[in-house]
Amino acid sequence: MAEIINLRRVKKTRQRQTAAKAAADNRARFGRTKAEKDQARRQADLEAKRQESHRLEDD
């Protein structure tokens, strides 16, 4: 026979897991030092310049 489960408990467990994953993502995204943020910003600017330099001009 199948095991009886409490759907409310399953739903709450799933919500907790989702919230924990979101919290971990936010810690990784926003939990950086100023130097790390500046380095990431400089790297993004450099990548944008490189991509822009390869753009073909429209005639």
User: How does pLDDT run across 2-25, given as a tens digit for each residue?
Assistant: 899 999 999 999 999 999 999 999
58 within domain boundaries: no
27 within domain boundaries: yes
Q: Quick: pLDDT tens for 21-40.
A: 999 999 988 888 899 989 99
What is the span of the domain harbouring residue 12? Answer: 7-53
pTM: 0.49
Give 58 or 48, the one with higher predicted confidence: 48
59 pLDDT tier (thresholds 50, 70, 90): low
18 within domain boundaries: yes
Q: Cα–Cα distance between 10 and 8 in angstroms, integer? A: 5
